[in-house]
Structure 1
């Protein structure tokens, strides 16, 4: 078994305070960046109080019996993928070593106000012997989002809200040629995918992100979020 290790905070750079909510929990998938095929994991962030949060990395598919490091970064201004945005390190997880199966769990205790940057934040996992080797990365905690409570519908377009673990509305009827825009109003990473329509495939969507698709052919279309079991919805497209 691997151990969770607690680590004292290092000074944070460029991070701005955020309002903490007691006993809230968020989960962010760690995605392979290409240097470690088959690696995966999850970052869970639980706010215990206004002064304490627990960030837990659960990692799989890394090189067995190998030393790694992980860091929070402020999201940089370079654009593109979060890990390529060039943001500075703001918090460090304790150093850790994978077990014989390439797994590890590591915990960072931090003030929750240090986990949000002016543009956002990301967490990456490095091989300790080569910090340029980043097998896993997760984009987390973008700027605050104002929830959208209604899904306005017009002839030209429709908005579907992506709340955590559900699409709103879950069923929708539109005319052929209508553009549907999915607006992320939740707190964790989601996506929009279809098993039957190859080009209905969003990138990972984080708070405040949007994705649009124009339905041209009548039919019934079921789509889902691959990160959350049971999170699916249906759109029925009718003739003009």
Structure 2
């Protein structure tokens, strides 16, 4: 039996344990999805089980990553930048132990933590990063929001949520390639690629970022209705549009 299968078996057994007198909750599973700089074969699952009021186990089961490569993974709180947890740019709340994939690009990682640290407004999603460059995020798993999270999010005004959007800068593409916002919205471009990019526009000369490197951001507030094209001057054909509507 391979080390990967042995470890998976041990972790599966750990998920079935509950402390004496505690009622264990059903195991919750959340699939990982590919992000802006994907490894096309990457996939996986986050499994979370609460063992007691003060104990939980989170397990990452990952496949198709770069073989024999160090990675790190983090729980993030839900940010306000997007309705998609994986695009919301929330802060890190918990870190999984650093790990290295095996020769087949597989890894299984265990994290024990107080459930309060990964519930409510915390732990809204899990990102898997390459250890060498945290801007490279091949996989993300969205954790379902609890009632507490929904209540906290509802206290944020609809206006503040609607007036913030994000665009990911991958290598040779912007995501999404077409975005519609209302006048007054601030759009933030987040560099998730590996090479230098910029954000420029002939339609709106005010859109003119400096050179952006992995992990860096650039923001612009759109005030005038219309459809505007922007581009990266370093890569031919790398362009996208933003349509601004009246409120």
From the superposition, tell whether residues 104 and 116 of structure 1 become closer, same or farther in structure 2 (CA, over 3 Å). same
Does 2:92 match 1:89? yes
Does 2:131 match 1:138? no
- Matches for 1:1-240 after TM superposition, within 5 Å: 1-2=3-4, 3=7, 22-35=24-37, 36-118=39-121, 121-144=124-147
Shift of 1:49: 1.0
Distance 2:111 2:136 in 1: 21
Tell me if the contact between 2:117 and 2:123 (Cα under 8 Å) persists in the aligned partners: no
TM normalised by structure 2 equals 0.49
From the superposition, tell whether residues 94 and 33 of structure 1 become closer, same or farther in structure 2 (CA, over 3 Å). same
User: The residue matched to 1:114 in structure 2 has which SS?
Assistant: helix
Shift of 1:114: 1.1
Residue 218 of structure 1 aligns with which residue? none
From the superposition, tell whether residues 21 and 113 of structure 1 become closer, same or farther in structure 2 (CA, over 3 Å). farther
Distance 2:129 2:123 in 1: 20
User: The residue matched to 2:86 in structure 1 has which SS?
Assistant: helix
Distance 1:91 1:119 in 2: 9
Gaps of 5+ in 2: 12-21, 149-247
User: The residue matched to 1:31 in structure 2 has which SS?
Assistant: strand
TM normalised by structure 1 equals 0.51
Cα RMSD, aligned residues only: 2.4
Cα shift readout 1:203-224 (whole Å, capped 9, x = no counterpart): xxxxxxxxxxxxxxxxxxxxxx
Residue 153 of structure 2 aligns with which residue? none
Distance 2:123 2:98 in 1: 24
Gaps of 5+ in 1: 7-19, 146-240
Distance 1:73 1:21 in 2: 27
Distance 1:142 1:64 in 2: 33
Greater than 6 Å deviation, 4+ residue runs: none
Distance 1:143 1:23 in 2: 14
